[in-house]
Amino acid sequence: MDKILIEGGNRLVGEVTVSGAKNAVLPLMAASLLVDGWTTITNVPSLRDIDTFKVLLRHLGCEIESDGPGTMRIRTRDVPVPEAPYDMVKTMRASVLVLGPLVSRFKKARVSLPGGCAIGARPIDLHLMGLKKMGAEVSIEHGYVTVTAEKLKGAKIYMDTTTVTGTENLMLAAVHAEGTTVLENAALEPEVVCLADALNRMGAVIKGAGTDTIRIEGVRALKPVEVRVIPDRIEAGTFMVASAMTRGNVLLKDCPLHHLESLSVKLREAGAEIAEEAGGVRVIGDWPIRSVDIKTIPYPGFPTDMQAQIMAMMTVAGGLSVITETVFENRFMHVGELKRMGADITVDGRCAVVRGVKHLSGAPLMATDLRASASLILAGLVAEGRTEVSRIYHLDRGYERIEEKLKRLGAKIERVKS
């Protein structure tokens, strides 16, 4: 298994291009199940989660071609076995995104129920509640959920928790339903808007994506289109924090700053300079870093997917920071590892109190989940001495060649086989 070795202490300086967003590609791939023709997706990053989704789509019977780097073409003529097996769902929860389109177009889906994961219980009850409201029959047996519907019907669906993939799944299901579906308390994330825009270009009639009420008028058939994936706000945010915390000066190209307002406010409060210029977004870090309090909430609030990275930054800030995680109940797995580097963090339920220390010291560390892995790498960039991060398969799920990008910015970092 690969490891990442980092020799801390270098400022990051230079330019980096933000890749396409993983969390936008996956629902677009699921959307291709709705069309009887080639869907072309461009600006696709090379990531393990996307490879896993490809395996799942091929398992379902889809044809997938790649037209050079960053472009993927998918065609779904028929789905002989509409089933997402345990092995695939357990490696990537977003596999449940096939549920909506499969029921909608092929009348049946059998998907392994995702269990809890490293960051929380993460049920899919709201996905299932919505499908039931649309007239589907839902049964759970042997760890699998089977959903059937001769024809889904439009419905008013209120989700009592904001769920990103839940909103996407129901939107995908509602596109072919009979009549109008209204999703209330829908997720506002840019990836939801990216999916709605793509579906509308395919011929769907979706209004209100990006607000908490989405209206979908069912249509008979969609046509294949080419869609470009939006840039990854979480990858961009990770590089913004990396520049800020290393006293760096980094120009981020293709940076979706308009999707990163909550992070930008906090980074500026912490002392970083963020400026838009012709070629992209420049982030200049300054020391001492000022401590800031953070509370994760659904978009446009501070993203839970940036919580671990900002915590790494706060471990070397000049005061006390309170970080509250409201989206997932167990998303502080990185704390134990950061403490092994000398960070001073106390966790009480959903709150972490971080007292900034003068320096972190490099240590052997274990990545526990995707964003936690990124936070350990950021900590390693400012730590004294050598940090060794293992179990980096988590990192490869969502960051495209992060060590190469950091290296080009001046970090002493390498991937080694162990």
Query: Footprint of ligand UD1 on this chain (CB under 6 A)?
Result: 23, 26, 93-94, 120-127, 161, 163-166, 191, 304-305, 327-328
Rounded CA gap, 131 and 125, in Å?
10
Q: Which residue has the tokens 């769907």?
A: 204
Q: Are strands 180-184 and 205-207 parallel, antiparallel or unpaired?
A: unpaired
Annotated active-site residue in 62, 117, 194, 255: 117
- Closer to ligand UD1 at the Cβ: 63 or 125? 125
Query: Please, what is the minimum distance in Å from the beta carbon of residue 65 to ligand UD1?
Result: 23
- Closer to ligand UD1 at the Cβ: 112 or 304? 304
- Closer to ligand UD1 at the Cβ: 156 or 408? 156
List the structure tokens of 139: 């049964």
Asked if 39 contacts 195 with a C-beta cutoff of 8 angstroms, the reply is no
Query: Please, what is the minimum distance in Å from the beta carbon of residue 68 to ligand UD1?
Result: 25
Q: Which three-class secondary structure state does DSSP give residue 123?
A: coil
Q: Which residues neighbour 133 within 8 Å (Cβ) at sequence distance 6 or greater?
A: 155, 156, 157
- Closer to ligand UD1 at the Cβ: 264 or 326? 326
Q: Residue 375, Cβ neighbours under 10 Å: how many?
A: 29
Return the percent helix, strand and coil in the chain, to nearest 5: 35, 30, 35
Cα angle for residues 226, 231, 236 (degrees, 5° grid): 170
Query: Please, what is the minimum distance in Å from the beta carbon of residue 175 to ligand UD1?
Result: 18
Q: Which three-class secondary structure state does DSSP give residue 310?
A: helix
Q: Residue 383, Cβ neighbours under 10 Å: how many?
A: 27
- Closer to ligand UD1 at the Cβ: 125 or 178? 125
Query: Please, what is the minimum distance in Å from the beta carbon of residue 270 to ligand UD1?
Result: 22
Q: At what angle do helices 48-60 and 22-31 cross, to 10 degrees?
A: 10
255 is catalytic: no
Rounded CA gap, 113 and 320, in Å?
40
Query: Please, what is the minimum distance in Å from the beta carbon of residue 260 to ligand UD1?
Result: 14
Catalytic residues: 117
